[in-house]
Amino acid sequence: MHAALMMLVDGRFPAGGHTNSAGVEAAVRVGDIRDEPSLRRYLTGRLATTGIVDAAFSAHTAGLAPPFDEQLIALGLEYSARVPSPNLRDVSTRFGRQMLRAGAQVWSSPLLDAVASGQPGVHQPLILGAIAQAAGGTPNDAALLSLHHLAAAVTSAAIRLLGLDPMSVAAMQAEMSEQIDACANDADLWAGACPADLPANSGSLTEILAEDHGRWDARLFVA
């Protein structure tokens, strides 16, 4: 890994990731996440569902070769079809916009230009993939970045909401590294796949609770 990619891993990169709890805020409210074991169970499930889907779309985008416009449109439609919650789709394009604003100032590439000048409302995993490519990353790098962002969002949100011990949560996340790495094993396969065949792993309650969360009067996180 090189320095440019490390900027994307760094939580201080101004892409707005700290406002995403990846569903943890809603899960805490309904009592599903209470402690470290239930947090671990949640992260395990989330990696295998939305985690895989986002990683796959990032990996595919990171592997794109020109011409880009039609491929980006097809990818956007496929991703939208996998996110039935309108709130989650909206959050994804908002995070995408924020990440693109930061990324397009730092890097430039034909793909990033195509993303920035094409239709608005590009989903975050596609933006991450385009930025990863511009920063010299492979599809596997893009998938790992996506999965790491998810793990970081879940664990840091749980620490803030439940007051869990940050060191012991970090140890838990480290213990799950092998599992996280394994989720990206198919990155090259995803890069070469037809967009319709990319994973669509999902959970009914993920969508239901995320839609409900969007309507809360007061919340700490965007999603």
Partner 1 sequence: MKGHGSIVVAGRNVAAGQGSRLQSAYAEPPFSIRECGERVLIAASAAAPLGGDELSLRVAVEAGARADIGTVASTIVLPGPTGAPSTMFTDCSVARGGHLEWVGEPTVSVGGSDHTVSTTVRLEELATCRIVEEVSLGRSGEPSGTLRLVLRVERCGQPLVHHDELFGPSVPGAGSVVSVGPARHVLSEVVVGVETGESRSVVGSESRAAWLPVADDAVLLLAVGPDRPAVLAAVAEVYRKPS
**187-216: which residues touch partner 1 (CB under 8 A)?**
196, 199-209, 211-212, 215
Residue 9 binding partner 1, by CB under 8 A: no
- Shortest CB 101 distance to partner 1, Å: 27
Q: Collect all residues with Cβ–Cβ distance below 8 Å to 176 and sequence separation of at least 6.
A: 40, 43, 44, 47, 151
Q: Which of 187, 183, 199 is nearest to 82 (CA)?
A: 199
**68-107: which residues touch partner 1 (CB under 8 A)?**
77-78, 80-82, 84-87
Residue 177 binding partner 1, by CB under 8 A: no
Contact 98, 128 (CB under 8 A): no
**118-157: which residues touch partner 1 (CB under 8 A)?**
none
Which residue's CB is nearer to partner 1, number 2 or number 34? 34
Report the residue from 27, 72, 151, 169 that binds partner 1 according to the rule CB under 8 A.
27
Residue 109 binding partner 1, by CB under 8 A: no
Report the residue from 10, 34, 44, 174 that binds partner 1 according to the rule CB under 8 A.
44
Contact 71, 64 (CB under 8 A): yes
| Residues binding partner 1: number (CB under 8 A) | 40
Contact 57, 85 (CB under 8 A): no
Q: Collect all residues with Cβ–Cβ distance below 8 Å to 75 and sequence separation of at least 6.
A: 57, 60, 61, 126, 195
Residue 38 binding partner 1, by CB under 8 A: yes
Sign of CA dihedral 141, 187, 202, 162: negative
- Shortest CB 135 distance to partner 1, Å: 29
Judged by DSSP in three states, 63 sits in coil
- Shortest CB 35 distance to partner 1, Å: 13
> CA-CA distance, 57 to 160, in Å (whole number)?
29
Contacts to partner 1 by CB under 8 A: 23, 26-27, 30, 32-33, 38, 41-49, 77-78, 80-82, 84-87, 196, 199-209, 211-212, 215
